[in-house]
């Protein structure tokens, strides 16, 4: 989304609250409590934007709680930061003797929302309203934001011994000894160079 400080180009939207059965209300309460304990969300009063939660059944039959950011996504322009070509990533890894696949833990949630934009991610539950302190799933520019961060963090290694598509990464090497060195260096770079905030999907410094 845009980092505009003048507000959205369209009207603010407060969605009408959707009703859930008891099973789904229990899931929402549990997931909200997890987010609060992880400091990923905070309670908010007098929100201007207000969205419903959406429950999606995963392959393992458990529920995933998402937020319906349809109106918010429509109000802001798309970030056209280019995502890597899957075919190019596969081609670059072909021929390498050793491959290690890495998946960033809660990758999107490692990026903090800018404080002035937290309120735009507000969602409602039966108990209260909450907004995200970290970048949530569902924002249309979340993938572009995360890819931009990954490209900057891993810049010295991308195209050399590391390939990355959003939160999925692969470390490639020809020799076992070098592969160990590459694996030790990769997370170190992330820890040193990662961080920063973002404004509705656009990193700021």
Confidence of residue 18 (pLDDT cuts 50, 70, 90): very high
**Residue 81: count of CB within 10 angstroms of its CB:** 16
Residue 177 has pLDDT above 90, yes or no: no
Side-chain half-sphere exposure of 173, counting CA atoms within 13 A: 16
Percent of the chain at pLDDT above 70?
Answer: 82
Residue 199 has pLDDT above 60, yes or no: no
Burial (Cβ within 10 Å: 0-12, 13-18, ≥19) of residue 148: buried
Regarding beta strands 123-124 and 129-132, do their DSSP bridges make them parallel or antiparallel, or are they unpaired?
Answer: antiparallel
Residue 135's pLDDT is 93
Residue 187 has pLDDT above 70, yes or no: no
Angle, alpha carbons 114-12-205 (nearest 5°)? 15
Side-chain half-sphere exposure of 198, counting CA atoms within 13 A: 30
Question: What is the value of pTM for the model shown?
Answer: 0.77
**Cα(102)–Cα(139) distance, integer angstroms:** 23
The token pair that represents 13 in the structure block: 């939207």
- Which value, to the nearest 10 degrees, does the dihedral of the CA atoms of residues 144, 145, 150, 151 take? 60
99 or 40: whose pLDDT is higher?
Answer: 40
| Mean predicted lDDT score pLDDT of the chain | 80
């Amino acid at each position: 989304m845009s980092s505009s400080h003048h507000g959205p180009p369209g009207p603010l939207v407060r969605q009408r609250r959707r009703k859930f059965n008891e099973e789904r209300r229990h899931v929402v309460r549990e997931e909200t409590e997890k987010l609060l304990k992880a400091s990923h969300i905070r309670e908010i009063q007098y929100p201007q934007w207000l969205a419903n939660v959406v429950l999606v059944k995963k392959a393992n039959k458990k529920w995933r709680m998402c937020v319906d950011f349809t109106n918010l996504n429509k109000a802001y322009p798309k970030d056209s930061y280019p995502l890597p070509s899957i075919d190019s990533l596969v081609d670059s890894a072909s021929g390498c003797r050793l491959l290690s696949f890495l998946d960033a833990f809660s990758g999107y949630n490692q990026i903090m929302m800018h404080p002035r934009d937290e309120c735009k991610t507000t969602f409602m539950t039966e108990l209260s309203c909450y907004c995200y302190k970290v970048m949530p799933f569902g924002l249309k520019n979340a993938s572009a934001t995360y890819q931009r961060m990954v490209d900057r963090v891993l810049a010295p290694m991308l195209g050399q011994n590391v390939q990355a598509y959003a939160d999925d990464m692969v470390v490639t090497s020809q020799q076992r000894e070098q592969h160990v060195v590459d694996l030790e260096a990769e997370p170190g770079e992330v820890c040193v160079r990662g961080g920063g905030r973002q404004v509705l999907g656009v990193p700021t410094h």
